[in-house]
Amino acid sequence: MVLQLGDTVPDFTQASTKGEISFYDWAGDSWVVLFSHPADFTPVCTTELGEVARLKPEFDKRGVKTVALSVDDVESHAGWTKDIEETQSVSLNYPILADGDRKVSDLYGMIHPNASNTLTVRSVFIIDPQKKLRLTLTYPASTGRNFPEILRVIDSLQLTDNYKVATPVNWQDGGDCVIVPSIKDEAELKERFPKGYTVVKPYLRMTPQPNK
């Protein structure tokens, strides 16, 4: 299965380090970051799991739940969790799905045969409260993921869902935004963007971030 942006992601029920998870029920009305790992006791992933635990207050502020996945079983995850907590000096405060039967991996297209026929690639899925897929990223095994960038994307998605703006290159929360080209009416522009805007080109109009 190839999931594309805007698709409704599949539901599933699977064991995890926090007990059995029925994904839709567990997610509720939250945003979700689901991120996969090739196997337990892998070095780069160990650092990533620790970083996500440290960033939990930032995910919480944005109404985001995080869940990891590896193809190993819960017992193996429990041993890995001890290593993560010891080496990364953090308590693992979110679940790791056990996907020994590859059910979730297959549903979400995490097995890339040219990389490995049996192990998941290192994917990231950002899923909104309507269970729509909003972002996918796939990393090589040798490169650790940049979770501040994932938080930045969530900030952008949540902002642009609520205002008629897009975020330009290298945007950070609080920075100027781009007014979407579909808004042409001068009265609507003044109503939506009372802080004003700058016309760089007719199709490129910058405005202060509307919710700041």
CA distance 40 to 76: 7
Which of 45, 53, 124, 177 is catalytic? The answer is 45
Q: Tell me whether residue 177 is one of the annotated catalytic residues.
A: no
138-160 burial, b at 16+ Cβ within 10 Å, e below that, comes to ebebeeebebeebbbbbbbbbbe
Give yes or no for a contact between 91 and 98, defined as CB atoms under 8 angstroms apart.
no
CA distance 98 to 14: 7
DSSP string, 60-97: HHTTEEEEEEESS-HHHHHHHHHHHHHHHTS---S-EE
CA distance 91 to 93: 6
Q: How far is CA 126 from CA 66, 134, 139, in A?
A: 9, 6, 15
Q: What would the 3-class secondary structure string for 195-210 be?
A: CCCEEEECCEEEECCC
CA angle 131, 135, 138 (to 5 degrees): 125
Question: Which two three-digit tokens encode residue 3?
Answer: 């999931």
Q: Which residues are catalytic?
A: 45
